[in-house]
Chain A
């Protein structure tokens, strides 16, 4: 099985070629010049995503007793905003692009601390958990469907490593439990499966103009199922602030 995986991986790599060729193109007051663009438009080497989605960290999975996250913040859905930038380093003919992607997100949950003398009562002191996930993933975008079949859907997959800086505060100050400071770093694998809808088909002329004037090849809306196991690969020494969740957003390729 391992050998099969290795052979498959090497085969895939051997099939690829460098994504963008060197071309001299541009736009001046008389219009676009240089080699004629293909149906792909200007050279394409990167993608950027603006991301928004639910985020309920799996903190309670990383403790042996109780559900401190749910007890403090409730079961209300929290949200995350984020950005991701991908370098489409390789183009795989008849499939799509492959390259590394770097992402960042931000989410915060806050609630009111409970009285120590009577845990059934809440105080007026705000307690919070702020999480900043950062990840490095390999991104495969199968844009063969719009390029070769005219279907405006691009499935994609991401796999890599994620980490998250987290901090907890009480009353506006960094929280402490005894001498232990309420900040930490968690890490683990990160993966995602999603699909992008090509917006260019809604207004092809505007899409072409954006390519000629701004170098934006394509724009998309996307939906993604996203998972991260930020528990240091099963260690209970880290707070698991990863999540299995959905993300939607806008993406452009340029």
Chain B
């Protein structure tokens, strides 16, 4: 069943798999091998760096203008002077026509740069990388408009095939897809209502003056800019310094597959600082009648991080908003988070009014119970007669056993 030939074959497959994992795909065309070692890929300020793959891009990475820094290796230094190093993104970028402004499926994201045996510090901004994808921005057509994206206000123009960002010919915006969030830069707008992660290939190419490829390597990144839609039916309850919240999970199968958790938001922000900053009028001894209108927590909004007041796992449909102040009226709401750590828009908020409650331990102490204070607290009032009796019997057994052996 397990003969040596099969074992060696298995090891060969494993060795090949492990070996191929260390380098991005390297190809030889025109005699020079170009490689992008995985260890030579850095991110400047990736969201949740170290907790997600370096190849992953989320909405915050784009908004915060994160960028990749690559190290590119050439197999030889001979003949490099005939080429320039360029980085293109898209589909089939090693074909000249796909880089042609009229028929482009690619857009330039890095270079041109004079190649050396080892090129380090090659920067590719995330926004540039995302700007040419199908959507609110054009694909290398000089900013002639999107192809059905989400930007209802008009794209900012794509990266044309000659490499420059076209800022004069703004795209006309997509004709389909959902309305965009005006707070998000157009280059970062999600593509329609797609919530699944998408893959984008980067082509590191040595190009001569005629556009012929003298060597190339590919490196694939994935991006996901849309968190699933928010949950529905937000309900709040009463707690002390907390607001128990419940909700109904989004029902779409695709949405559920990419949900990684839930983010709770509160207005005013948690803590006494949040209450003071909000300017809300409240009396610590009087339960408020209602919540005043909020400009921050509205359905479809993306509140600032300072309004975060709790999290829940992806299987939860309830959680507590914490660090709230009793007798302060709070608007609370919930957004989904996804596997790329995107946070979606919030659901229709609900009003919560935390107030003092009496839990079991408080009730126990109020009834005269004196227990508690930690696992290591000891009393000098115990009567240890039984304790010593039991320990004595145990000791006798042990001694007896020793003598027997």
Residues A114 and B239 in contact, CB atoms below 8 Å apart:
no
In the assembled complex, the Cα of A161 lies from the Cα of B401 at a distance in Å of 20
CB distance from A242 to the nearest CB of B (A): 12
CB distance from B10 to the nearest CB of A (A): 29
CB distance from A186 to the nearest CB of B (A): 7
Q: Of the candidates B241, B355, B372, B379, which one forms a contact with A177 in the assembled complex, judged by CB atoms under 8 Å apart?
A: B372
A72-89 interface with B by 8 A CB criterion: 72-73, 89
From known contacts A124-B244, A171-B240, infer whether A184 and B377 are also in contact, taking CB-CB under 8 Å.
yes
Name the A residues within 8 Å of B355 (CB-CB): 115-117, 123
B373-397 interface with A by 8 A CB criterion: 373-377, 379, 381-387, 390-391, 393-394, 396-397
B320 interfacial by beta-carbon distance below 8 Å: yes
Q: How large is the interface on A (under 10, 10 to 19, 20 to 34, 35 or more residues)?
A: 35 or more
From known contacts A138-B394, A138-B397, A171-B240, infer whether A111 and B360 are also in contact, taking CB-CB under 8 Å.
yes
Name the A residues within 8 Å of B390 (CB-CB): 159-161, 189
CB distance from A115 to the nearest CB of B (A): 6
In the assembled complex, the Cα of A136 lies from the Cα of B368 at a distance in Å of 30
A142-187 interface with B by 8 A CB criterion: 159-161, 165, 168-173, 175-178, 180-187
Q: A213-254 interface mask toward B, CB cutoff 8 Å, 1 = contact, 0 = none? A: 000000000000000000011111111000000000000000
A94 interfacial by beta-carbon distance below 8 Å: no
Secondary structure dominating the interface of B: loop
In the assembled complex, the Cα of A173 lies from the Cα of B324 at a distance in Å of 14
B271 interfacial by beta-carbon distance below 8 Å: no
- Count, A-B residue pairs, CB within 8 A: 199
In the assembled complex, the Cα of A59 lies from the Cα of B368 at a distance in Å of 11
Output the nearest chain A residue to B352 by Cβ-Cβ distance.
A124
Q: How large is the interface on B (under 10, 10 to 19, 20 to 34, 35 or more residues)?
A: 35 or more
B19 interfacial by beta-carbon distance below 8 Å: no
Residues A237 and B379 in contact, CB atoms below 8 Å apart:
yes
Binds B, one of A37-45, A62-70, A195-203, A204-212: A62-70
Can you list 28 pairs linking A and B with CB atoms under 8 Å apart? Answer: A13-B396, A63-B368, A68-B363, A69-B364, A72-B359, A72-B360, A89-B397, A89-B401, A100-B397, A113-B357, A115-B238, A117-B355, A123-B357, A124-B244, A125-B238, A125-B240, A127-B360, A161-B391, A171-B241, A171-B242, A181-B374, A183-B373, A233-B382, A233-B383, A233-B387, A235-B383, A239-B364, A239-B371
Beyond the given A63-B367, A125-B359, A177-B362, please list 11 additional residue pairs across the A-B interface where CB-CB is below 8 A.
A71-B363, A115-B356, A116-B355, A123-B239, A125-B238, A125-B244, A177-B372, A180-B372, A233-B382, A233-B384, A238-B382
Residues of A within 8 A of B (CB): 9, 13, 16-18, 59, 62-69, 71-73, 89-90, 98, 100, 111, 113-117, 119, 123-129, 136, 138, 159-161, 165, 168-173, 175-178, 180-189, 232-239
Residues of B within 8 A of A (CB): 237-242, 244, 287, 320, 322, 355-377, 379, 381-387, 390-391, 393-394, 396-397, 400-401, 404-405
